[in-house]
Structure formats: structure tokens, C-alpha cells
Structure 1
Amino acid sequence: MTKRLMLLEENQIAFHSEDGLIFDVVEDYSLQIAKMLGLNDDSQFLQAGVQTVLDIGCGFGSFGAHLVSLNVMAICIAAYEATGSQVQLTLARGLPAMIRNFITRQLPFPTLSFLKWFIAQCGIVWDKKDWMLLLEVDRVLKPGGYFVLTSSTSQPYGSSLSMKNSMLTPMEELTPKICWNLKAQQYETFIWQKTVVSDCYTSCKQGAIPLCNEGHEFGVQPDYFFEDLQIWRSALKNYWSLLTPLIFSDHLKRPGDEDPLSPLNMIRNVMDMSAHYGGLNAAFLEERKSVWVMNVVAVNAPYTLPLILDQGFAGVLHDWCEPFPTYPGTYDLLHANGLLSHLSSERCGMMDLFLGMDRILQPEGWVFSVIKWELLRWHVCLLHKCFGKQG
């Protein structure tokens, strides 16, 4: 992608291209990838099975914003930055992002469960550490999924041959061993596809590629999803009816008197801290709320994350005894249903959890919680009872 400048203009952030070389427009880049995949245009991504995209290196979030406009869930990850954070800026735009140093830590996603399409636009040296980074990509990439690799340098079109030789030669050593095929190459962009042919995996040397095991079979019936959705469909209506008058009464983002429209942009970044099957996310979509949801599955909760990701939702596995990998004040609404029951570890307690929630919540942000109050051992005055005795 081209280098871009972020400028502050009249209290608003504007983006300007620093040069006029390749991929000056995000839409052109997306269209190029679509055509390399044999599609007419990028509006056909969903038809081609592209539901979720992981973007390594967020930039300013423009590529993710474009994909979201095509109803494709795009999550970007980038390392922590003290200033000018890609993740923080992307979240401020109301787009999915999280802090993760891909080079030093395993991705917080399950094996063969997340990505229909994998995007990388950063200068990672893939053949270092015995190909560990590329093997990690293979771990999360589904058969039939795509790995799109774009050079991190802005070079004229004519220099693609030298870049191809330097990048493609080492990649050719491993990609056949992990059953990847080079599908297309154009200028500084390469696309590999992970094969769906099972013979390729069975013919490999034992231990070369981790195959599915019984732990990947969940035995979940469609009725489970429907029941989960029914619960949160009614709950969301209660939440929103409570929240709307509060937002309009006294909120930093409330509309002025000259603009009394619905508060579409006041709540954009939502976290479901105990997502179960993603029913709350599905309910938001049904109600056409202009939000996105980070579905979090606790490490000691039932392992439903692959089922959430298969629905095209954003989601991660997380240990709530550790800080969530994001910047302070990046979520507008936190939803915690039964989360306290997962804090069985002696390493942390309720206060650690609440301090962590306070850190990531926006000023004037909201917390919706469905818990048994006797677990808190507090004297609690409920403003509204949605679920009988549980509050």
C-alpha cells in the first residue's frame, strides 16, 4: 500500500497520499485482489466464500473500512506503539482491531477455524525462525483460504521482477510442503491458496502438518444457535430502550439540538466479554445497529470460538486474568453475561476484572451485565430487571 499522511484539519483527521505510486486508492487494491481471484469485482467476495479477513498491519484502517462496507468482517492486528498507533486509530474509526505482535506471540485464534482469507501487508521475513511465522498462518488458515502478501515497499511497477525473485524463491521451499498453491502474482502482490484436496495432507510426511483431531468436533446442533439468538434478541431491545434516553440526556457524543437524529455513532465498538455462541452479535445485525462486536471467549469457558468465527463474526480467545490487548478507552459498550463464573483462577479476582474493564471503556461508556448479585456480595439497587432474579 502507499504511504499516507495523517493530518489534523479543523479538529478532524484527514488522510492524504504521500506519493502517486501503486495502490493509491484502497478500492483499486481491493479490486485488483478480486480480479486476481478470478472475480468480476470485490462485491463478489462474499460469493467466493470470503467472510473474514485478518489484516496484519492496520495502517489507518482504510482497507478494513472498505471491506466492512462490502459486508466482509475485517480484523486488523498490529504491535503496540507508544504514539501514532495503528490499532488505536482504527478503533477510533469504529473498526475491529487489536494489539498483537505477530512475530513474538501466537495468534489468539483457533486452528483451521478463523480465516477464509488472510491478508498481510507488512515487511515480515517469513523464512526466519524455521518458517514459524508462515506455519502459524497455515495453522489458522482454512483449506480453500487465501494468503495475500503485498510488499511493504512502494516500488514502481517495473521493479516487481527483482522483488518476485527475493520473495518467491524462499517461499517456494515451504508452500508445497504445507499444501499451498501460488494462485496469482501481479506486481508486488502474491496470492496463495491452501488446497482442499485431502490427498495432499495424507501424503505428507508424518508430523509435517497438524491434522484435525477429535478436539475439533464440537457436536453443536443448529438449535443451540437459535436459542442463543432468541435470548439476546429480546435482551437487546431492553438494553437499547434503556440506553437511548440516557445517551440523549447527557452524553459527550450526543447530537446537538439542530441534529436530533438517532445516535448512530455514539456506540460503535462493542465487546461481548463472554460471547457463548455470538447471539448478541447476531441480534445486533438483525436490528441493523451500526456497531461491530468483539466476541471474547474466556480460556476456561466452553470452547465456542470457532463456531463464532464460522458465522463471520470477530472473536478471540482471552484469559481475563490478563489485560485485554487494546488501548485504554477504546470500547463504547461492554457486555458481561455470567463472566464472574469464569474467574476461578487464584491468579486474579473480581477487582482485577473490573479494573481491566474500566481501562478499556470509553469515558461515558456503558457496561451491561447479567450476573447473580450474591456473587458480588454488594448491596445493589437495580434500575431495571430484565431477567427476573438475576438482574
Structure 2
Amino acid sequence: YTDIETCLTRLPEVSSDEEVAGGAIANWPRRLDMVPPRVSSGSIDGVTPEIFQEDIILWKKRISYYTTVNSQLGQPGRYRNLLDMNAFLGGFAASLVDDPLWVMNIVPVEAKADTLGAIYERGLIGTYQSWCEAMSTYPRTYDLIHADSVFTLYKDRCEMEDIMLEMDRILRPEGSVIIRDDVDLLVKIKRIAEGLNWESQIVDHEDGPLEREKLLFAVK
């Protein structure tokens, strides 16, 4: 058995009554692009303000590329409930802020950095999840599922078939999937997707065909 741990994080100490514990947060929607206090204070290992700013630029570039492959991603009303299985700083969700949709941002419990607090400070929603286990949600909850390096993260932890089955369970009929990962893993994932009767295709990385990371676009 594992001892129960404290589930609430203590706020940082303040020097005066006027100082905001944890750091001041800008009003919505400015807070989306402002460096979260947890990042600026160095509370998240390996995440700096420079990395945060680079992540904003990166995801705007990636979303722009996604829409060239799946034009429906930019159509209002096509997707409403989205899931990001490995959200990091919430860049995927932040880049879609102008669209009429919402994104559930998942920080895997196995991730190197605990970034959920920074996601909250950006004004986004999210939760923890281990993809070796079922997600606590109804079947057919999501219209689109995004998985960035999820199968690399769980390569030696659990079977990719089990993860794919859970994705199939929570994805509605005619829902879409975008998976970013190493090409060798995507080839195996594509075979599993075909077994689930998904229509799928593997396309090159936004930086060109020489990148080992590729993308799999699928429709249930």
C-alpha cells in the first residue's frame, strides 16, 4: 500500500497583506498569454518563462498546420468537446480560444513536470489522469481527442491497445483523433486504429518529412 499524500498544494508565503499569494494573475483573456506565476517563480522544474513563450508560438504554428490537414478543425460548431491527453502548458487549448469549443487538459500523472497549476493560472481547465487506467467520464464524451507523445510516455508502462480502446470508448461516432508521436509507434497505432474501424492517415511533421515525429489523423 502507498500512504495517502496531501492533495492540496500550499500557497507560497507573502511578505504583506497586499501581496497576492502565488502571484498576481491578469484578467481573462490576457492571462492566456501571460507567464503563469508558477512558471515565473520557478516552481515547475524545467519550465522557464522562455519555454512558455516558445510554447505559445509552437502551438499557433501546429494548429495552423492541423487545419491544412483537417479543415473541419477551423469550422465553428464542428467540434465542441475536445480532450488533450498530454497538455503540458495548455498550448493546444490556448491556440483554439477564439473557437466556440472547450478543451479538457490532461496532465498525465507520469509526466516529468506537474504543469496543472500553470494550466489553471492561464484560465483553462484540466485534471490529472493515468492513461494506463480508464478515464472517469461517460462514453462518447469528446468530439476530438489530441494525443501529443502519449504513446512514447506510456511505451514501457502499459499496452497501447488498452489506451486506444479507452480513446475509442470516450470518442463519439464520427469524432476525430490527432496523434503526434514517433513514426515507428504511429505505424503500430495505425494498425490498431484500422482494427477499431477508424479511418486514418499518417502525415508528415509540420517541419517536413525528415522529422521522425509524424502525425496520425483519424475519424471514428
TM-score for the superposition, normalised by structure 1: 0.39
- Contact 1:110–1:305 at 8 Å: present in 2 too? no
Shift of 1:379: 9.3
| CA apart distance, 1:384 | 3.2
Q: Matches of 2:134 and 2:204 in 1, distance apart? A: 30
| Shift in CA distance, 344/375, structure 1 to aligned 2, threshold 3 Å | closer
Alignment of 1:341-380 (within 5 A): 341-344=152-155, 346=157, 348-376=158-186, 378=188
Counterpart Cα distance in 2 of 1:379 and 1:358: 13
User: For the Cα contact (< 8 Å) 1:332–1:362, is it kept in 2?
Assistant: yes
8 Å contact kept, 1:235–1:386: no
Deviations 1:228-275 (A, max 9, x none): 111110111121232226x8xxxxxxxxxxxxxx84222011111010
User: Do structure 1's residue 305 and structure 2's residue 116 form an aligned pair?
Assistant: yes
| Aligned match of 1:235 | 62
Tell me the SS of whatever aligns to 1:266.
Answer: coil
Q: Give the CA deviation at 1:344.
A: 4.5
Structure 1 position 293, deviation (Å)? 0.8
Gap runs ≥5 in structure 2: 13-19, 22-41, 191-199, 215-220
1:298–1:342 contact (8 Å) kept in structure 2: no
| Counterpart contact for 1:270–1:333, Cα < 8 Å | yes
Amino acid across the alignment from 1:385: D
Q: Which of the numbers 5, 8, 29 marks the counterpart of 1:111?
A: 8
Match of 2:205?
386
Displacement of 1:386: 3.2
Q: Confirm whether residue 333 of structure 1 aligns to residue 159 of structure 2.
A: no
2:186 and 2:202 in contact (8 A); partners too: no
Counterpart contact for 1:330–1:361, Cα < 8 Å: yes
> SS of 2:137's equivalent?
coil
Instruction: Give yes or no for contact 2:152–2:182 (8 Å, CA) kept in 1.
Output: no
Shift of 1:111: 2.7
Shift of 1:313: 0.7
Alignment of 1:127-276 (within 5 A): 217-219=43-45, 220-244=47-71, 263-276=75-88
Asked whether the equivalents of residues 110 and 306 of structure 1 are also in contact (C-alpha less than 8 Å), the reply is no
Q: 4+ residue stretches of structure 1 with deviation over 4 A?
A: 379-383
For structure 1, the 5+ residue unaligned runs are 1-105, 113-138, 144-194, 197-215, 248-261
Structure 1 residue 383: Cα displacement: 5.1
Report the Cα distance in structure 1 between the residues aligned to 2:165 and 2:59, rounded to whole angstroms. Answer: 26
The answer as to whether partners of 2:108 and 2:128 remain within 8 angstroms in 1 is: yes
For residues 113-142 of structure 1, the C-alpha deviation after alignment (integer angstroms, 9 at most, x for no partner) is xxxxxxxxxxxxxxxxxxxxxxxxxx7xx6
Q: Which amino acid aligns with 1:217?
A: S
Task: Name the CA distance, whole Å, in 1 between partners of 2:187 and 2:62.
Answer: 25
* Alignment partner, residue 316 of structure 1: 127
CA 1:275–1:267: 2 relative to 1, 3 Å: same
Question: Aligned AA for 2:64?
Answer: K
Name the SS of the counterpart of 1:378 in structure 2. helix
Q: Which residue number in structure 2 is paired with residue 281 of structure 1?
A: 93
Q: Secondary structure at the match of 2:100?
A: coil
Tell me how large the CA RMSD over aligned residues is. Answer: 2.9
381-390 vs 364-373, greater mean Cα deviation? 381-390
Could you say what secondary structure the match of 2:172 adopts? strand
Residue by residue over 1:171-207, the C-alpha shift from the partner in whole angstroms, topping out at 9 and shown as x without a partner, is xxxxxxxxxxxxxxxxxxxxxxxx96xxxxxxxxxxx
Higher relative contact order by CA 8 Å / sep ≥ 6: 1 or 2? 2
Residue 203 of structure 2 aligns to a residue whose secondary structure is coil
